[in-house]
Amino acid sequence: MVPANASHPREAFVGMLLFNDICQSRPQVPSRPQSEHYDMQRSLLLLPVLAIGCATPAADSAQATASDNAAVATDTLIAPGEKHFKSLKQLTFGGDNAEAYWSFAGDKLVFQATNPAWGESCDQIYVFNPFTDDLRTTPPQKVSINGGRTTCSYFLPGDSLVLFGSTHEGGHACPAHPERRPDGKYVWPIYPSFDIYVSDLKGNIRQQLTKTPGYDAEATVSPKGDRIVFTSMRDGDLDLYTMNIDGSDVRRVTSTLGYDGGAFFSPDGTKLLWRASRPKDKAEEEEYKQLLKEGLVMPTNMELYVANADGSDARKVTDLGQANWAPFWHPSGEKIIFASNHTAKRGFPFTLYLINIDGTGLEQVSFSDQFDAFPVFSPDGKYLVFSSNRNNGGTRETNLFLAEWQD
């Protein structure tokens, strides 16, 4: 499903795949109440819509037991087979919440959400303490206070500043979504007004890191605190780049035609991990190039890649087919956790998996039979935060969950 209102790759392509494979009979996909990550972020309602519509009767029955934003015992949230989850806690209770990333100290999360209860119909950035704050009673601290659509937030060293992508200098309102194509194929926009900004936790913009024409977003920070990796259109394609924390010394990392995004540094900062959608033949190349000229992208299959931090020795990790995305490093630096629908016959569900960086040892982690994605380990490896449609009471909501991790 590509949500009609999804604003960037991290979220949008999921919607496209789900909708095209699962809900072909529906003439129109409702936009998510705007995450996805995920402005791949919401009327992210798309992910939830499909998750609910395609759940098994047993799953629906289990979901129906959830009361409105009521606290739920952690053991009831863990599906059979989820042996890596020692406990599981629901963190958000409504709207669409995705792409939660840890502070360097491991005591805060920054994430993007569209939640009508918080007065937002467009993805915005929030910060909270997942161990002490109760978002059922008190909304999180809003960081993005300048309007526009925001995405892909991340803490900077010291945890007093965060970076995120925003379109606010292109206008206070959410940018318009592309109309549905006559051929029925779903696309998402690469808004040229997306740039990367640094803000304090109260929303005061401290610095604009990117100023080149075109899309700049999907930025994350090395655990070493010295470099940022991001996706940019500055050279005519959606490629990965790195730069210093202050925005200087920009270096191109990828140059193969196709979308490269959602990148993360390894725990020691020496490698990069990302997802890519690459055209497979001349026809796909031409379609990809034409869409880029229109400010659009339509990723199909997504696979995971790793490389040295300078882009050398790039190699494909997965070759599973369908959508393999939202990867993150296991604390060991030897494994990757990611979301995939590669076993689904009709594009759903999305499930969490572990895999060795050499492509061996694939292991299923989540078993909710719904939508589980955006997994991120805490710096000490003791916790995993992720987004899921589980326990949403039959609604279209995507919430954040916190698992105590056990290897």
List the chain domain ranges: 50-405
Instruction: Check if the beta carbon of residue 338 is closer than 8 Å to that of residue 327.
Output: yes
> pLDDT at position 399, please?
98
**Which CATH topology does 50-405 take?**
Neuraminidase (2.120.10)
d(C-alpha 234, C-alpha 229), whole Å = 14
Tell me which residue has tokens 């900004």: 197
- Model's pTM, two decimal places? 0.84
> pLDDT at position 275, please?
97
Both structure tokens of 255:
């140059």
Nearest to 305 by CA among 262, 366, 250, 363: 262
Angle, in degrees to the nearest 10, between helices 9-22 and 46-53: 30
Cis peptide before 80 (omega within 30 of 0): no
State the Cα angle at 223 between 221 and 227, rounded to 5°: 45
> pLDDT at position 321, please?
94
- How far is the CA of 200 from the CAs of 131, 165, 169, 205, in angstroms? 21, 14, 18, 7
pLDDT means over runs of 10, the chain (407 residues):
38 41 28 36 33 29 34 73 98 97 98 93 95 97 95 97 96 86 80 97 97 96 98 97 98 97 98 96 95 86 96 98 96 98 89 98 96 97 98 93 97
> pLDDT at position 69, please?
36
